[in-house]
Amino acid sequence: MPEEILVPPAWFEPGAPPIEVDFGCHRGTFLLGMAEKYPGINFLGIEKQSARVEKCLGKIRRQGLGNALAVQGEGAAALVRWLPERSVSIVHVSFPDPWPKRRHASRRLVTRGFLEGIERALCPGGVLRLMTDDASYFSDMKALLRQGWAELPWEDGVERPVTAFEKTFLERGRRPCRCAVRPLSRR
């Protein structure tokens, strides 16, 4: 990346619009769809791969979306780097790499440390929305969420665009595993 992108400080000021995070925003389909549909909410995409961040930023510029931004980051460290405590209303994590081999499981995104970072970033009433096509990974996620998190209905009346991965799996006749949770400490 040629220069450091900074999240506008105004996004975190009292009275600013709510912030939703698309963690692992990939090429930005969901991020840009949400930003276009909900101009009164700020949307921050966090993506590991710099080339994808650049593509997202280009799309954001071309579409003139002042309420969207993509930054480079990975895992729990990105949460601490980019998000002040109690600053985010919703974190979306869709189709993180499942690393299905046991010897690679430590590379998974959703870990105890990641969930602690999410809990720190969520404002009171904040929600984490998880989606994956890997039933085994989902089972492991749910096990991590048993302590300190309350499950909420997935359907909350908000219309959201389908992610690129979700579209692929739905076209194959596969239904993703999904859950929405709230940390008990942020009720």
> How far is residue 49's CA from residue 186's CA, in Å, rounded to a whole number?
31
Q: How confident is residue 102, by pLDDT bands cut at 50, 70 and 90?
A: low
| Whether the Cβ atoms of residue 56 and residue 47 lie closer than 8 Å to each other | yes
Active site residue 97: yes
Contacts of 108 (CB under 8 A, 6+ apart): 96, 97, 98, 99, 137, 140
Mean pLDDT in residue range 105-129: 89
Residues 168-187: pLDDT tens digits?
888 988 889 999 999 998 66
pLDDT at 103: 61
Radius of gyration of the chain (CA): 16
Mean pLDDT of all residues belonging to the chain? 90
* 3 state SS of 11: helix
Q: How confident is residue 164, by pLDDT bands cut at 50, 70 and 90?
A: confident
Kindly list the structural domains of the chain, giving each domain's residue range(s) and its CATH number in brackets, ordered by start.
17-186 (3.40.50.150)
Q: Pick 105 or 79 by higher pLDDT.
A: 79
For residue 107, is pLDDT > 80? no
Contacts of 13 (CB under 8 A, 6+ apart): none
| Whether the Cβ atoms of residue 23 and residue 9 lie closer than 8 Å to each other | no
Question: Is the whole-model pTM more than 0.75?
Answer: yes
75 φ, ψ (degrees, to nearest 5): 60, -160
pLDDT at 155: 93
Closest CA to 77 of 117, 42, 40, 43: 117
pLDDT at 14: 92
Mean pLDDT in residue range 17-41: 95
Catalytic-role residue among 22, 97, 134, 156: 97
Residue with tokens 């009275």: 15
For residue 90, is pLDDT > 90? yes
72 φ, ψ (degrees, to nearest 5): -90, 135
Q: How confident is residue 105, by pLDDT bands cut at 50, 70 and 90?
A: low
Percent of the chain with pLDDT over 90: 68
